[in-house]
Amino acid sequence: MTRAFRPDVLVQSGLPPLPPDQARRLIRDLAARLSVPHATVSVVFGDDALLRDLNRRFRGKDRPTDVLSFSAGEDGHLGDIVVSSETTRRQARRHGHDAAAEASILLIHGFLHLLGYDHTADDGEMDALERSMRSEMLPR
C-alpha cells in the first residue's frame, strides 16, 4: 500500500511569499510528477537571519541565501527545504515577477536538491529538469 505524499509547511516569521496551501500543492505535484516514493517533505519560510545562520553552519558561508535543502535520510521523510521570504521578494523584483512565482521556482530547485541533483556537478542535468518542471508546472 502506497502512502500519500504529505508536505508540511511552517512559516517561521513574517508573511510567506507563497501561501502555505499553494506551497503544499506545488510540492505534492512535484512528488507525483517525479514519482517520489517518500511520504513527507517539510518546507520552512523564514527570514534572512535564519538562512544566514543555516548557511554559515552548514555551508561555511556567512551570508543569507535564497533556499537551502537538507536531506533527511529518514525512512519516509525526504528532507527539509528552507526559503528566505526576504531574499525571495528581492529576487522577484530583480527578475520582474511576483514573489509567489519566485518562491515556486525556489521550491522546485530545493526539491530537486533533495532528490540528489547537484547543478554544480552534473553537467546540466538538474538545470534541464528544473526548466522542464518550471515550464510544466508554473503559470507563464
Which residue ranges make up each domain of the chain? 6-137
pLDDT of residue 88: 97
- Out of 25-29, 38-42, 76-80, 108-112, least confident range: 38-42
Residue type, 93: R
pLDDT of 68 reads 97
Give the model confidence (pLDDT) of 49-75 as tens digits. 999 999 999 999 999 999 999 998 777
First to last CA, the chain: 37
At the topology level, CATH places domain 6-137 in Collagenase (Catalytic Domain) (3.40.390)
- Cα angle 126, 116, 20 (rounded to 5 degrees) comes to 85
Q: What is the DSSP string of 3-46?
A: PPPEEEEEE-SS--SS-HHHHHHHHHHHHHHTT---SEEEEEEE
Q: What is the pLDDT of residues 3-13, one digit of tens each?
A: 678 899 999 88
Grid cell digits, residue 47: 527570514
The pLDDT of residue 3 is: 61
Residue type, 2: T
